[in-house]
Amino acid sequence: MIDPFGRKISYLRLSVTDRCDLRCVYCMAEEMTFLPKTEVLSLEELERLAGAFIRLGTTKLRLTGGEPLVRRGILDLIGNLGRHYLANGALRELTLTTNGTQLAKSADALRAAGVKRLNVSLDSFDPARFRAITRTGDLAQVMDGLRAAKQAGLKVKINMVALKGINEEEFDQAVAWCGEQGFDLVLIETMPLGEVEDRLEHYLPLDEVKRRLAAKWTLEPSVMNTGGPARYMRVAETGQMLGFITPLTHGFCESCNRVRVTCTGTLFLCLGQEDAADLRAPLRAGQSDEGLEQAILAAIGRKPKGHDFIIDRDHRRPALARHMSMTGG
């Protein structure tokens, strides 16, 4: 799959549910209305769709949500994907982004299915603050999950959203703790997605964070490039990687290799644009595999060049009304 700007699209982020057991303040409203079950793709439909993308050249598949591990039957889907596509080399990587709450009971099954690495979102190491950010979360549960992941042999990358006045004094501790655990750490700027509490107030440019961390740690330039938006440094003292995702201060669209599919089968060609294609209709209309693949290819032919997120006082509205949990983070 090559888009109109010559970018090879080899990475699919597939959302398997819009539901989540947490309600992070920058991601979801306190009272979310979730989709009726009939609108959400069944596990069989998700598997068929993943298969079509893989036949078209997707080599990296990330399951996300919502919280992927709260979807009933998800471990069966992951097991099937591993068996069918990792085993024969069609898929190079099958991975997940998770909040970690369900990892204690699923880490072994994930590893057995062929998952090697996980991104785990964790915005605070303080139980009370973690609860405040997630509105409902129990930090100890996530810590248990992380222990299980490590024990199962899964490589972990911690994703931490930088929130001004909320978790900004924890980054130093996060670098140290991730170093001890052997986890990589990625700091993320808040993106203007979905109507949530005032984001401008908590927006923290990562350039400033990087400067502060560089005063304490030796940050060596790294050539590590995952094909994604993160720019990595190596923390000399710990040997772990430290990444920065700065969608607002630095664009990352030139090297974009990804598309996203929501749990309702809408293919979004860019996280920050409305361009989309409905893949649920062909799936449910009994289209052949070829028909489904044609629908995907036609959409890839419309992938936009990039997004233009802005957070400033003149743009208090979100760039897009849909939440990250809808598009799949």
By CB under 6 A, tell whether 159 contacts ligand SAM: yes
Among 1, 49, 148, 188, binds ligand SAM (CB under 6 A): 188
Say how many residues touch ligand SAM, by CB under 6 A.
20
DSSP3 helix / strand / coil % (the chain, rounded to 5): 35, 20, 45
By CB under 6 A, tell whether 161 contacts ligand SAM: yes
State how beta strands 241-245 and 231-235 pair: antiparallel
Residue 14 or 191 with smaller CB distance to ligand SAM: 191
Name the segment binding ligand SAM (CB under 6 A); options: 81-89, 138-146, 166-174, 183-191: 183-191
Report the candidate in 166, 250, 150 with the shortest Cα–Cα distance to residue 158.
150
Q: What does each C-alpha distance from 248 to 105, 138, 207, 237 come to in angstroms?
A: 36, 30, 11, 29
Q: Cβ-closest residue to ligand SAM?
A: 329
Cβ atoms 25, 323 nearer than 8 A? no
Amino acid at 87: A
Residue 55 or 164 with smaller CB distance to ligand SAM: 164
In angstroms, the CA 259 to CA 105 distance is 30
Q: What does each C-alpha distance from 69 to 107, 162, 183, 196, 259 come to in angstroms?
A: 10, 24, 20, 24, 21
By CB under 6 A, tell whether 18 contacts ligand SAM: no
Positions in 194-233 near ligand SAM (CB under 6 A):
none
Among 58, 64, 102, 266, binds ligand SAM (CB under 6 A): 64
By CB under 6 A, tell whether 63 contacts ligand SAM: no
By CB under 6 A, tell whether 17 contacts ligand SAM: no
Cβ at position 160, least distance to ligand SAM in Å: 8
In angstroms, the CA 48 to CA 54 distance is 10
Residues binding ligand SAM (CB under 6 A): 20, 24, 26-27, 64-65, 67, 97-99, 121, 159, 161, 188, 190-191, 193, 324-325, 329
